[in-house]
């Protein structure tokens, strides 16, 4: 069922299909983590319904961008959300397999100063694969870490930033694949549900053609001891504990 959700951020709304795949905290954190400076041209890979790019537009850190999404239905929802939020002049939708970007020159090489991606997390060999769009969103059926690293490096100008959210157990794979394509890990942050928990997500920023050297930021804690959002999460969602 298609529904229209209020993002509670600057009046933004987004179309989602509750029978397919809806965005989660990982996408919101990726957009926040990526918005450390102003960018001219942004490419968001594995866009889904466009949540990361839409939030980046709200942060005022981009002039123009493109959302790349393989699934036809998700790409259509993305386009509808852009039009609803009056973002169709700033953001475009490319409904295509991201693996074709470099091969078919669908987007300009070395043009972007930020590439973001919230990719499928699970290797195909590792267990259950959900049916339909959820399977493609969660499992590496059509998009692997190698694929996102290759396309990210192709799209980025020298010094451009590649920001990724992924699972902690895939960190070594991510760093190796990116370094093989001249993307050097420069900033890293673990995300934990509660203080003392093992991380459930990682946020990583790579820079094209950068020297080695990593800044490890403090862990981001989602919930406090009362299972309410922490101050930093309230800040990210632009709401306070008083009106939550």
Residues 6+ apart with CB under 8 A from 184: 178, 206, 207, 208, 209, 210, 211, 212
pLDDT at residue 240 is higher than 50: no
CATH code, domain with 128: 3.40.50.150
pLDDT of residue 23: 87
pLDDT at residue 126 is higher than 80: no
Query: Is there a domain that residue 1 lies in?
Result: no
Answer for the pair 68, 94: CB distance below 8 angstroms, yes or no: yes
Please compute the mean of the pLDDT values over residues 11-16 and round it to a whole number.
Answer: 90
pLDDT of residue 6: 87
Query: Is there a domain that residue 3 lies in?
Result: no
Positive or negative CA dihedral for 8, 18, 46, 105? Answer: negative
Positive or negative CA dihedral for 192, 239, 88, 16? Answer: positive
Bridge partners of residue 241, in order along the sequence: none
Query: Is there a domain that residue 5 lies in?
Result: no
Query: Is there a domain that residue 15 lies in?
Result: no
Percent of the chain with pLDDT over 90: 74
Closest among 37, 39, 198, 30 to 114, alpha carbons compared = 39
pLDDT of residue 138: 63
State pLDDT tens for residues 129-148: 455 555 455 656 678 999 99
pLDDT at residue 239 is higher than 60: no
Confidence class for position 47, pLDDT limits 50, 70, 90: very high
Confidence class for position 244, pLDDT limits 50, 70, 90: very low
Query: Is there a domain that residue 119 lies in?
Result: yes
Instruction: Give how many domains the chain has, as a whole number.
Output: 1
Q: 148 lies in which domain range?
A: 23-243
pLDDT at residue 128 is higher than 70: no
Query: Is there a domain that residue 106 lies in?
Result: yes
Please compute the mean of the pLDDT values over residues 207-235 and round it to a whole number.
Answer: 95
Looking at per-residue confidence, does 104 or 239 come out higher? 104
Which of 47-51, 84-88, 137-141 is least confident? 137-141
Query: Is there a domain that residue 17 lies in?
Result: no
The rounded mean pLDDT for the chain is 89
pLDDT at residue 220 is higher than 70: yes
Query: Is there a domain that residue 44 lies in?
Result: yes
Answer for the pair 190, 61: CB distance below 8 angstroms, yes or no: no
pLDDT of residue 127: 57
Phi-psi group of 167: left, alpha or beta (phi > 0 → left; psi -120 to 50 → alpha; rest → beta)? beta
Answer for the pair 144, 72: CB distance below 8 angstroms, yes or no: no
């Amino acid at each position: 069922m298609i529904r229209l959700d209020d993002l509670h951020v600057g009046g933004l709304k987004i179309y989602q299909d509750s029978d397919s795949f809806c965005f989660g905290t990982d996408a919101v954190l990726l957009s926040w983590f990526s918005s450390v400076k102003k960018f001219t041209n942004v490419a968001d890979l594995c866009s889904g319904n466009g949540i990361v790019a839409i939030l980046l537009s709200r942060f005022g850190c981009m002039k123009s961008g493109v959302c790349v999404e393989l699934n036809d239905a998700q790409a259509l929802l993305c386009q509808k959300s852009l039009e609803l939020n009056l973002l169709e002049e700033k953001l475009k939708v490319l409904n295509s397999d991201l693996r074709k970007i470099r091969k078919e020159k669908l987007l300009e090489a070395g043009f972007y100063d930020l590439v973001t991606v919230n990719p499928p997390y699970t290797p195909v060999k590792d267990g259950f694969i959900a049916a339909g769009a959820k399977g493609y969103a969660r499992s590496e059926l059509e998009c692997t870490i190698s694929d996102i690293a290759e396309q990210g490096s192709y799209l980025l100008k020298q010094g451009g930033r590649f920001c990724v959210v992924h699972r902690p157990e895939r960190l070594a794979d991510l760093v190796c694949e990116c370094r093989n394509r001249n993307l050097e890990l420069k900033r890293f942050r673990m995300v934990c549900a509660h203080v003392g928990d093992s991380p459930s997500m990682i946020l990583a920023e790579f820079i094209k053609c950068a020297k080695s050297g990593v800044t490890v930021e403090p862990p981001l804690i989602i919930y406090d001891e009362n299972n309410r959002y922490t101050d930093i999460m309230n800040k990210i969602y632009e709401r306070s504990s008083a009106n939550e």
